[in-house]
Amino acid sequence: MQKRLNKRITFKNLTQEFTDRFLNLDNSLIRTFIHLFSKPEKVIGGYINGLRKRYLNVFSYFAISLTISGLYTYILRKYKDNLFTETLSSEKQIEVTKITSDFSFEYQSVISFLMIPLLALISRFIFLNYKKYNLTEHFVIYLYAYSHITMVVSILTLPFILSYQNIYIVIAVQFIIYILYIAYVLKNLYEMSLKKIVLKTLLFIIISIVLFTILSFIIALIMIKSGALPVDK
């Protein structure tokens, strides 16, 4: 039976509880965040192998990432008109970009959730000759890795976007950071040489670009058919 606390909630004890839960350096959230940089194989490999008390649960970490990226998206939506006006010259380009960005902002959480199994599937295919991790375990790898790097990139690049730097340069930098971090995680988990992980990463990029181009084309067709995306006649 849970012990009942009779004292009233005050701002002081609420602040204390927040500090104890989230700002304590021994807390699993802080430890997970730091170790996903310094030793991701311990966090992810440990979770896969059943050691799940030292670090934050993978789904909890994903939920925190969704919250932060949701805040990132909310801020971008407020400034998106200025962002596209600054970086695009054609009225038609601005209109199409605003429509597609509205779609991605609206379904950001769904896109993130669907992105992870797709990335896991590509990754498992690339590592088909390795038996260390199965498809479900690759899903766990990307839940942690994608969640982590999404949080970091959202926080680091937001100031550059809001200062009206070229948004496409920022997106390109974000993509490079994503790829490098995922490669770093997989290198540590599979204990691979630099040469092997570079080759695997290049293959991953090629397959990802092909698949995402096809998916983008399909989504664009659906939006055109529904009238959400205007087409010149």
> pLDDT digits over 73-95, tens only?
777 777 666 655 555 555 655 55
**pTM across the whole model:** 0.76
pLDDT of residue 72: 80
Record the tokens describing residue 156, joined without a space. 């680091």
**Percent helix / strand / coil, the chain, rounded to 5:** 80, 0, 20
Q: What residues contact residue 187 under an 8 Å CB cut-off, 6+ apart? A: 194, 197
CB-based contact 121:135 (threshold 8 Å)? yes
pLDDT of residue 2: 47
pLDDT of residue 70: 81
H-run or E-run covering 114: helix 108-126
What CA–CA distances, in Å, run from 210 to 97, 164, 204, 206? 21, 30, 10, 6
CA angle 221, 222, 223 (to 5 degrees): 90
pLDDT of residue 6: 52
pLDDT of residue 66: 86
Handedness of CA 14, 18, 20, 24 (dihedral sign): negative
pLDDT of residue 104: 62
CA atoms within 13 A on the CB side of 209: 8
pLDDT of residue 180: 94
- Residues of the chain short of pLDDT 70, as ranges, are 1-9, 11-27, 79-109, 164-167, 223-224, 226-233
CA–CA gap between residue 71 and residue 66 (Å, rounded)? 8
Residue 50 DSSP class: T
pLDDT of residue 34: 92
pLDDT of residue 221: 78
